[in-house]
Structure 1
Amino acid sequence: MFARRRSDRRAAQRGLSIVELMIGIVISLLVGLAASSSAMVFGAMQRQGLNAGSAVVSSATTLASLKEDAAQAGLGFFGNGTYMCNGLNLRVGTTVLDQAVFSPVSITRANGNDQFDFLYATAVAGGANVALQTASNLGAAELQSYLPAAVNDAVLLAPKEPGAPCTVRTVTAVANSTATTPQRLTFGADATHNQGPAITNPALYPIGSRASLLGGVQWHRYRVVNGNLQLELPMRTGDDATAVLVRNVVALRVRIGIVGTTLTDKAITDWVAPTAAAPGGGTWGQPRATDLARVRALRVTLVTRSPQPEMPKGSGGCEATTTNSLRLFEDDADTFTPANVGTTSWQCYRYRSSDLVIPLRNYIVGLP
């Protein structure tokens, strides 16, 4: 009897009491809440990190693309150690340059940001030029020597001495030279760069003027629109004429590297703003021919804002950014002010700057 009672007592002690069960449930709930809170914080941090990393990659990729365009800018517009075009006549659809002041790299400022326009030829032999055998009336060109042009290639007609505008024409027929006749390029009115009304007071291209092979003409424009850095192709239309490259852009600025007035000096002596006045008239962003010969490089700064604000501190404020005047270039006073200054929200965002120095390859090669 006694042994049996001991066995019953042990059986009654198996399992959990209601108090123990409730304590376990409460502990589980507390652990779950803590884990859930940690997961939310970690998820927010992860999203912030991914967004920031994506912005950095987009900025770096965009600057690499901009660098390639800037390096090619000017191909076909330099010849015999000189820049050949004080102005340019160019027609493509509704895009018209009629004796426009022209630089293969043109930089203008609007709404606090700089806009880049790059023009260059696509032909590997771009810039190879020959003299005209007879004066050209823009309908045809007879050449003193052979130019490897084919139908649908673009050709640049340039004055013998810099001064008059250059003109881009499209080849519609090629007559090879013979023992008694020169090579003849015909520019029919229905071709890409030959359409539209006549050019106002067209440049005259007498004997000895130059014809350069372009192949095709690329015109790329980089500018900030509504906080987005986009690439535009002014000579195209439709959906493929514009592409957004980087979002949340707050600043795109440039400095232009120039050499001294003695052009044999190859070292850059100053970095100037594109809005600064140039000695020959105009600005360094759109220099005249005499000043363009001093341009050698670009220094570009792209500033982006983190797409997602950081969480406020315990005091209720943010400390991601603590100054409302951020410097763009280390060696001058050019600054920008974050958006929404005057409220506390701007302090919750981080700003990242990507910098790049771009040698203008065709400027360097095409000039003495």
Structure 2
Amino acid sequence: MRAGFHSPRARGFSLVELLVSVLIGLLALVFATRLITGAEQNKASALGGSDSMQNGMLAMFSISGDAQQAGFGLNDPVLVGCNTRFHDTGGYSLAPAARGPGTVFPLAPAVIESGGAGPDRISLYSGSSMTGTGTLRVTSNYIGGTRLDVDRVPSYGFKLGDVVVVAPDNIGAGDCALAQISEDPGRVDAPPKQQYVMLAGGTGFRYNSGALGGANYTAGMARIFNLGPEKTLAFHTWSVNNGFLQLRSTDLAGSGGTAQTVADNIVSIKAQYGFDTRTGGAFTPQDGLQVRRWSATMIDADGSGSAGNAGDYQHIAALRIAVVARSAARERPDADGDCTATADKPVVFASAVPEGVAAAPITVDVGGDDWGCYRYRVFETIVPLRNAGWRP
């Protein structure tokens, strides 16, 4: 072979071949990038859906569990719906409700503060006394102080520290008042045993203000109901704040006045009362209540001409509860900048149940201009109030 002669293969790649190779590499890189990005987006959507499922189920389990227990011991018509004077050094306060032109604080198994299209606040109250229907009658006029004279020795079913409610016999004749027994009613100073109940303040008596909030009672016209030990009094208020499900509670340390977070990515909770709208002689709660109308606000269920009175609370047969959970991950908008993960806002309570009862659907405001970039799950349940028909 002569010097200076080079084979064509010894010259390497041509510029065209090099550019083609770079183009193929770039196409492969773009394809791989899109494949990985798509896989990550699918993974994020799947994980977000899983998170919303878990958070929504946790929220529904917690709220519906409270609803199933609501009202135990609060089963006397004298108590249900009674405007109650309440004092708590732990910071808890009863839920307000409309009654005519004014506002009251009813003692009832459930109180809904409707938020319209926004989240509701749901308060669920229950005691633990198995002797809630056993009462003491007030035998002397009460115009203040820490002592209530009663018609018998309160040794059976009434113990030191128990939470009691004083209520007038005539429904609507006055306010109820909640307090704690501050002196052991079974002790013997001298025969016979004491026939009075002490409601003094002091350490360990968080519900005592010293004067029953200013309420007065007439001899022979008021009774004392026992709700059970203070530590088992379960007054709970559920709410949503900035995507967090929160709870204020009398039986969870530190959460009486300051709500504690229970679950995240919960954008709304909704509730409706299930009313038995029969009135007069047709209303026979001892034979069982029937849901005939759903409403997020109080109605004139007892036909008295006034919505929100004590009788209306006695016509509540069940609660309908919904939880709306959101995926944790925000999905990317399309090429035009529009979010397409969710096209329409969630609708709750759209089904007509029980059969023959009209639905009262609510379109939920899930908040924010970018709400369509998230996915939502809706959880619903109906909880009969277990003591709605248990009446003395």
User: Taking structure 2 as the reference length, what is the TM-score of the superposition?
Assistant: 0.72
Residue 336 of structure 1: which of 350, 360, 363 is its match?
363
Q: Which moved more, 1:289-298 or 1:146-155?
A: 146-155
User: Corresponding residue for 1:139?
Assistant: 147
* Greater strand content: 1
Q: Distance in 2 between matches of 1:27 and 1:177?
A: 94
What displacement does 1:355 show?
A: 0.6
Cross-structure match for 1:350: 375
Provide the residue aligned with 1:300 in structure 2. Answer: 321
**How big is the shift at 1:298?**
0.6
Q: Deviations over 1:37-80 (max 9, x none)?
A: 3222212221222122112211111111111212222222224x
Residue among 290, 313, 317 paired with 1:268: 290
The residue that corresponds to 1:188 in the other structure is 200
Q: Distance in 1 between matches of 2:365 and 2:134?
A: 49
Distance in 2, matches of 1:288 and 1:225, equals 30
1:256 matched to which residue of 2?
Answer: 273
Alignment match, 1:105: 110
CA RMSD of aligned residues (A): 4.0
The residue aligned with 1:9 is none
The equivalent residue for 2:177 is 167
What's the counterpart of residue 64 of structure 1? 61
User: Does 1:153 find its partner at 2:165?
Assistant: no
Please give the secondary structure, in 2, of the residue aligned with 1:110. Answer: coil
Aligned residue pair count? 349
Give the letter for the 2:200 counterpart: G
Q: Please state how far the C-alpha of 1:358 moved relative to its aligned partner.
A: 1.0
| Aligned equivalent of 1:219 | 235
Counterpart-to-counterpart distance in 2, 1:337 and 1:95:
28
Tell me if the contact between 1:148 and 1:213 (Cα under 8 Å) persists in the aligned partners: no
Question: Residue 113 of structure 2 aligns to which amino acid in structure 1?
Answer: T
Letter in 2 for 1:116: I
Partner of 1:319: 340
Query: Equivalents in 2 of 1:96, 1:316: separation in Å?
Result: 46
Output one character per residue of 1:222-277: Cα deviation in whole Å (capped at 9) or x when no partner.
Answer: 12223433212379885773122344444432222122332246352423213253
CA contact under 8 A between 2:92 and 2:249: conserved in structure 1? Answer: no
Match of 2:299 among 271, 277, 289: 277
**What pairs with 1:21-36 in structure 2 (closer than 5 Å)?**
31=28, 33-36=30-33
AA aligned to 1:147 is Y
Query: Would the alpha carbon gap of residues 145 and 312 (structure 1) be closer, same or farther in structure 2, given more than 3 Å must change?
Result: closer
Percent same amino acid at aligned positions?
Answer: 21
Measured after TM superposition, the shift of residue 162 of structure 1 is 3.5
Distance 1:41 1:281, change over 3 A: farther
Matched with 1:243 is 260
Tell me, in whole angstroms, the C-alpha distance in 2 between the residues paired with 1:67 and 1:109: 17
Q: Decide whether aligned partners of structure 1 residues 312 and 320 sit closer, same or farther in structure 2, where only a CA change above 3 A counts.
A: same
User: Which has the greater radius of gyration?
Assistant: 1
Q: Match of 2:87, as an amino acid? A: R
* Correspondent of 2:217 among 195, 203, 226: 203
What is the TM-score when the length of structure 1 is the normalising length?
Answer: 0.76
SS in 2 for 1:51: helix
